Homo-oligomer: A and B are copies of this chain.
Amino acid sequence: MMTLRSQPPWSDSPIDELAAFSDSPAPSVTRVLYTDKDVLGRRYVKTQMELAGLSVREDAVGNIFGRWDGVEPELAAVATGSHIDAIPYSGKYDGVIGVLGAIEAIRVPKRSGFKPRRSLEVILFTSEEPTRFGIGSLGSRLLAGSEDLANSLKTTTDIQNISFLDAARSAGYSKNEDDLSSVFLKKGTYSSFVELHIEQGPILEDEGISIGIVTAIAAPASLTVEFEGNGGHAGAVLMPNRNDAGLAASELALAVERHVLDSGSIDTVGTVGILELHPGAINSIPSKSHLEIDTRDIDEERRNKVVEKIHQSAIKITKTRGVKLSDFHVINQDPPALSDEAIIKAVETATKELNLTSKLMISRAYHDSLFMARLSPMGMIFIPCYKGYSHKPEEFATIQDMSNGVKVLTLTLAKLSSH
Contacts and interface: CB of A to CB of B under 8 A. Distances in A.
Interface residues of A, number: 74
A90 interface: yes
Nearest to A281: B87
A278 B392 CA distance: 10
Interface stretch (A3-11, A54-62, A291-299, A342-350): A291-299
Nearest to A32: B281
Interface stretch (A36-44, A114-122, A267-275, A405-413): A267-275
A1 interface: no
Nearest to A292: B282
A208 interface: no
Interface string A226-238: 0000111111111
A104 interface: no
Contact of A201 (B237, B283, B364): B237
B285 A271 contact: yes
Interface stretch (A105-113, A165-173, A174-182, A254-262): A254-262
Contacts of A241: 202, 388
B282 A388 contact: no
Interface stretch (A64-72, A184-192, A243-251, A372-380): A243-251
A129 B280 CA distance: 13
Contacts of A129: 281, 283
A390 interface: yes
Contact of A250 (B254, B279, B390): B254
Interface in A331-377: 364-366
Interface stretch (A76-84, A130-138, A141-149, A307-315): A130-138
The number of times this chain is found in the oligomer is 2
Given A239-B269, A391-B284, A279 B87 contact: yes
Contact of A274 (B240, B251, B281): B281
A195 interface: no
A269 B199 contact: no
A253 interface: yes
Given A272-B247, A275-B277, A277-B274, A283 B232 contact: no
B285 A273 contact: yes
A247 B269 CA distance: 14
A274 B296 CA distance: 29
A64 B352 CA distance: 80
Given A235-B220, A247-B253, A391-B232, A294 B282 contact: yes
A88 B280 contact: yes
Given A236-B364, A239-B260, A365-B236, A231 B269 contact: no
A177 to B, nearest CB: 28
11 contacts: A129-B281, A200-B233, A201-B237, A234-B269, A235-B296, A238-B364, A239-B257, A271-B283, A271-B284, A279-B391, A281-B391
Given A90-B284, A235-B365, A273-B282, 7 more contacts: A232-B389, A237-B269, A239-B261, A239-B266, A249-B250, A272-B286, A284-B392
Interface of A: 87-90, 94, 129-131, 134, 136, 199-202, 218, 220, 222, 230-241, 244, 246-247, 249-251, 253-254, 257, 260-261, 266-287, 292-294, 296, 364-366, 388-392
